[in-house]
Chain A
Amino acid sequence: EVQLVQSGTEVKKPGESLKISCKGSEDIFSNYWISWVRQLPGKGLEWMGRIEPTDSSKSYSPSFRGHITMSVDRSISTAFLQWSSLKASDTAMYYCAIHSGWYFRSWGQGTLITVSS
């Protein structure tokens, strides 16, 4: 079974920067796109964006474009999601997920981010 392991819980202040990670096997990064999905507390799932690991091409949801940056380091089989200036409204659970088509076949365990002054 494909495994994605995400970095741990973060507690940050508004305005701070943050980079979270999602590590998979080398095979995953050769064959699958990686998306990030946000889940606000008690709410549904929102697609944030997608990155293609072989050429790092990206597509961002209009709701998140300009506020987040996705990247990948194939040498360590890890994808990243980063913010340069967090807001309280970024408090949520964030999931990475892999897909080779139009659905998300495997998900990371999630990274909880709390942004509070």
Chain B
Amino acid sequence: SYVLTQPPSVSVAPGQTAKITCGGTNIGSGTVHWYQQKAGQAPVLVIYDDTDRPSGIPGRFSGSNSGNTATLTISGVEAGDEADYFCQVWDGSGDQLYVFGTGTKVSVL
């Protein structure tokens, strides 16, 4: 089945920019979605269709997708952005229709 690889952790100082990558074979040919999961809470959609933000998600969150890597960028990181982040794609080629990345813990220093 399709595999999505993320770095286990990213550390960033408040006000700086965090970049979280999601690697997969030819991932740029499809669309990628991103979820934020704060400690003890359910996941929340923060980016869908590579670059779109649901209502209520700050403009500090942005996404890109090309080649073998998708990236979630958090600009002007705030303490409240500390969370786990998961990428996700739809894989219509197999039975595992929806595939999640391994997850990245973002720590705000």
Query: Is A46 engaged at the interface, CB distance under 8 Å to the other chain?
Result: yes
Q: Find chain B residues with CB under 8 A from A35 CB.
A: 98
Are the CB atoms of B101 and A44 closer together than 8 Å?
yes
Query: How many of chain B's residues have a CB under 8 angstroms from any CB in A?
Result: 23
- In the bound complex, do residue A62 and residue B98 qualify as a contact, i.e. CB atoms below 8 Å apart? no
Q: How far is the CB of B30 from chain A (nearest CB, A)?
A: 8
User: Inside 8 A of B95's CB, which chain A residues have their CB?
Assistant: 59-62
On whether A107 and B42 interact (CB within 8 A), knowing A45-B86, A61-B95, A102-B31, the answer reads yes
Note all chain A residues with C-beta closer than 8 A to B96: 47, 61-63
- Tell me if A105 is interfacial: C-beta within 8 Å of chain B: yes
Partner of A108, one of B33, B42, B103: B42
A47 contact set on B, CB distance < 8 A: 96-100
Q: Is the CB of B42 within 8 A of A104?
A: no
**9 A-B pairs with the lowest CB-CB distances in the bound complex, closest first:** A102-B90, A103-B33, A47-B98, A45-B100, A107-B42, A44-B103, A103-B48, A62-B95, A110-B42
13 new A-B contacts, CB < 8 A, other than A62-B95, A107-B43, A109-B42, are A44-B102, A45-B86, A45-B88, A45-B100, A47-B99, A50-B98, A59-B97, A102-B33, A102-B98, A103-B49, A103-B90, A107-B42, A110-B42
